[in-house]
Structure 1
């Protein structure tokens, strides 16, 4: 679809016209998806991120009257938000890695919550929900300490596929910690572990 008068439809959206917003969403969602997927390499995370970008644009719709090219505006917003999501995912992955590798030493500070054997059972119950390939990737990278490149060579797949499986596994693990332990994942990590700042160069590895 080509909008003959994009400035007009943006003005309508700025005034709260949901139909106009739906039209521009349908038109530009594919462009945004392609950009975000190149950065995040995960269809699930990409879909969530695209939704968040459009929600943010709707919330700040009054600014659209100053936009000359919605596509450029959308893609810049999508790139910035995707990089923020990537930083968060990588940070959570690194922290969760420490959580999994060191959980047996953490029980001193959380004896009133759970015992070490319960953490072992908890971890195994989460691993059982993963697909066989995701489970193997998790075991290689987080229980055997392999790098993404080493795991990719071991399994005969690409590094990007290994990374995709790990992103999905970390998301499942984080949600399970918050849901099943009844406490925020970030609270567990910040309370019982001390992690160095993430090397930002990891984002572009």
Structure 2
């Protein structure tokens, strides 16, 4: 359903509808900002990069209908603009996923998820934040931002197998963190 809404906005933007671009900005700017901030590590520059992403989407609106996955496209555009900035200012690439500094991630609960105890939710958030940086970034992009494994691999210049492995590690750690320990007598 969300994919349909994105396609609808994409079509409207391609037709020159500025309000659709604003709506898309409101939906995605926070996620794109986090990615730019991860790479650039400067709030004002990350904000400027996100604005540049949406400016480019608007400038390229005549070709927008040819883009299959606008969300992946915008993530890759954010990454590329961020890396271009780093190359221009430092003369070298400073993009190491193992050194990524992400802000603590919080699982946002829907009404159904509010039934989960606060303690369990705390364990989940701790487990997510205890993941290695690359693993946490991949987990965030897949589970929280809704990107597909192949899109994350493309975005981060990784092999698809690496994304799969990192997700497997993340899910195993989360599983272990939330396992309910049954008393020894009841396990037998």
Larger radius of gyration: 1
Q: TM-score, normalised by structure 2?
A: 0.46
